[in-house]
Amino acid sequence: MNDLNTLFDNAQSSGVLGGHSRGLLSGDLGAMVVAGAAGADLEDIEAAEVTLVTLLVDESSSIEGYGLTRAVQDGHRELVQALRSSDEADGLMLALWTFHGSRQVVHGYLPVEQAEPLTDARYRPRGCTSLYDAWCEALASNVAYAQQLRDGGAPVRSVVVVITDGEDTASKRRPADCRSLSRDLLASEQFVLAFVGLGADERAFRRVARDMGVPDDSVLVQGATPKAIREVFQTVSRSAIRASRGRIGGGFF
């Protein structure tokens, strides 16, 4: 991995980041961003074009309270299987994050054939929700890894999806930070950003997503039930495959 700040400078020079967003991604960005920006070396990627799929999954205590833990694990497994079975599998790379009061990078950008499952050891819902921190850190990691591939000459698309059942309760970052990064990345026309809310209050979820800079046509709200969460992962996999075919822009769902 090249120096993160150099990659962010290159991303700004190429029009991916604006000045304010570049300022947000300065200094010591922390171990999570470094871990999240890890991925396969360009020479090990055989596909002519690459789509980076970044999945952020809520791991706060309310997930277990809703009885969704097993459904999240099963849904993630089904998503990985769908990506592996697609005609675009060779060019798909998946990164997986979970978040509660802190964030965890389950794995950085791996070919979908190497993606790791959400086992009981890796996914244990607990604590509060650091939604904004997870979003900003994952976007920063994606920008860095994507820029490294672009600097090596590879065309790259990025899809970032967060799945959460609640509003933020623990972040240091604010909605305005999320919004600045989101708007710059969307304006570059190289990113798709999407938000999934699990629960009954659709208006509240759409407000949170809007505050984070996610377009309304890339927001999905589903009931907090095991059946609904499995349907969410199926929908995300279909939409990610569609985006990998070159559909950047417009709604994700």
| Mean per-residue pLDDT pooled into runs of 10, the chain (253 residues) | 85 96 82 92 89 98 95 98 96 97 96 95 96 97 96 95 96 96 96 96 97 97 96 97 79 88
pLDDT number for residue 48: 87
pLDDT number for residue 248: 63
pLDDT number for residue 127: 96
pLDDT number for residue 104: 97
Let me know if 27 is exposed, middle or buried by CB neighbors in 10 A (0-12, 13-18, 19+).
Answer: exposed
| DSSP per residue, 59-117 | -SHHHHHTT-HHHHHHHHHHHHHHHHHSTTGGGEEEEEEEESSSEEEEEEEEEGGGPPP
48-135+155-202+222-244 has which fold? Rossmann fold (3.40.50)
pTM for the whole structure: 0.96
pLDDT number for residue 251: 83
pLDDT number for residue 28: 60
Angstrom distance (rounded) from CA 50 to CA 55: 16
Beta bridge partners of 197: 164, 221
**204-242 burial code (b ≥16 CB/10 A, e <16):** ebbebbebbbbbeebbbbbebebebbbbbbebbbebbbe
Residue spans per domain, the chain: 48-135+155-202+222-244
pLDDT number for residue 31: 87
pLDDT number for residue 27: 67
